[in-house]
């Protein structure tokens, strides 16, 4: 078979990992990359290109950054380009049916969950939040629904007890890149027959907002620990405290451990505990257990240890 004409669509670091694998394979290196537009980043709001654009341009691959995929001009440009296949990895926007119908071999999406579980925008965070012991990667053929298309191939991956969204994203990106390269030759040669998803077992994820990171009294110690591993750095996990002036202040929790102790204070109360090695640990009491707060960040300040925060807070 001749070298397929490929368009790649992706935006964040995860997409860059998949793109890198395609480029190094040579035969599946895309000739065109479509990514989202540059966005302001950080306090200075510096206009920053997405990682996929940076990586593609470093390999002299043409990059398009359309505002809307549904614009007829963009649809016509893709149709004129005549791709054999389009590959998507974390592009971040819904693909219109007019584009789905263009490539000869359809559009394959690298989705970071074992579909139909965790469809939608946040499969990695949702797997950690749910306490899943296993996740994986699904190569699926895009259809008009939200991650509802037929499954082409899958590979599972264990979730370790200390897994974070950052570490799990890296593992799944590498896993997905390998699986894609193994799948493509069989898909393009017609050796694979895609299988419909079992919709009855489907779960849908959400786009997380700032308020999703707030800890409430009904949260258990285990739930809070999972929240911190899943929602750091975005949207972050925090509790609301009152300072010496009785003003509400946010305390972001960056790193924690479930502590082997029985809570003796009201949920969301802080206390300092002496450890056997002479050190002191900041403890967050919950309804059913305690959490050691190893690293925290008070509102408007830099990250610090739980003990350092306690000394300033009590003062």
Count of other CB atoms within 10 angstroms of residue 123: 24
- CA distance between the termini of the chain: 73
CA–CA gap between residue 221 and residue 226 (Å, rounded): 9
The answer to whether 111 touches 99, Cβ cutoff 8 Å, is no
How does pLDDT run across 35-83, given as a tens digit for each residue? 999 999 877 889 999 999 999 999 999 999 999 999 999 999 999 999 9
Positive or negative, the CA dihedral 90, 92, 94, 98 is: negative
Question: What fold, for 6-201?
Answer: Rossmann fold (3.40.50)
Q: Taking a C-beta distance cutoff of 8 angstroms, is the pair 71, 65 a contact?
A: no
Residues of the chain with CATH 3.10.25.10: 210-314
- In which band, very low, low, confident or very high, does the pLDDT at 315 lie, cut at 50, 70 and 90? very low
261: Cβ contacts below 8 Å, ≥ 6 apart: 273, 283, 289, 290
pLDDT in tens, 72-131: 999 999 999 999 999 999 999 999 999 999 999 999 999 999 999 999 999 999 999 999
The model's pTM = 0.94
What pLDDT is attached to residue 314?
Answer: 63
Residues 6+ apart with CB under 8 A from 47: 38, 39, 40, 41
Note if the bond before 116 is cis, omega within 30 degrees: yes
What confidence tens digit (pLDDT) does each residue in 224-267 have?
999 999 999 999 999 998 766 667 889 999 999 998 788 788 99
What pLDDT band is residue 25 in, cutting at 50, 70 and 90?
very high
In the chain, CATH 3.40.50.170 sits at: 6-201
User: Which DSSP category does 116 fall into?
Assistant: T
The CATH architecture assigned to 210-314 reads Roll (3.10)
Summarize pLDDT for 135-167 with one digit per residue, the tens: 999 999 999 999 999 999 999 999 999 999 999
- Specify whether the CB–CB gap between 280 and 273 falls below 8 A: yes
């Amino acid at each position: 078979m001749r070298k397929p004409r490929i368009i790649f669509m992706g935006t964040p670091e995860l997409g860059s990992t998949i793109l890198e694998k395609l480029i190094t394979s040579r035969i599946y290196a895309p000739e065109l990359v479509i990514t989202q537009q540059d966005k302001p980043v950080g306090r200075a709001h510096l206009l920053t290109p997405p990682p996929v654009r940076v990586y593609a341009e470093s390999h002299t691959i043409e990059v398009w950054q359309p505002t809307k995929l549904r614009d007829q001009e963009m649809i016509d440009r893709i149709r004129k380009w005549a791709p054999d296949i389009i590959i998507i990895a974390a592009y971040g926007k819904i693909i219109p049916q007019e584009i789905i119908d263009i490539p000869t071999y359809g559009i394959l999406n690298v989705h970071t969950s074992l579909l139909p579980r965790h469809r939608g925008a946040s499969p990695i965070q949702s797997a950690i939040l749910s306490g899943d012991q296993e996740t994986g990667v699904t190569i699926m053929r895009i259809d008009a629904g939200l991650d509802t298309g037929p499954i082409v191939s899958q590979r599972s991956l264990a979730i370790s007890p200390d897994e974070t969204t950052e570490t799990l994203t890296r593992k799944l990106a590498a896993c997905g890149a390998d699986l894609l390269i193994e799948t493509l030759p069989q898909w393009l040669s017609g050796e694979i027959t895609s299988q419909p998803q079992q919709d009855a077992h489907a779960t849908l994820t959400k786009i997380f907002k700032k308020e999703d990171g707030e800890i409430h009294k009904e949260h258990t110690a285990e739930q809070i620990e999972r929240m911190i591993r899943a929602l750091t750095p975005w949207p972050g996990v925090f509790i609301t405290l009152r300072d010496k002036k009785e003003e509400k202040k946010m305390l972001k929790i960056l790193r924690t451990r479930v502590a082997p102790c029985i809570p003796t204070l009201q949920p969301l109360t802080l206390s300092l505990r002496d450890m056997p090695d002479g050190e002191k640990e900041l403890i967050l009491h919950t309804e059913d257990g305690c959490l050691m707060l190893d690293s925290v960040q008070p509102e408007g300040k830099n990250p610090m240890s739980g003990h350092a925060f306690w000394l300033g807070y009590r003062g």
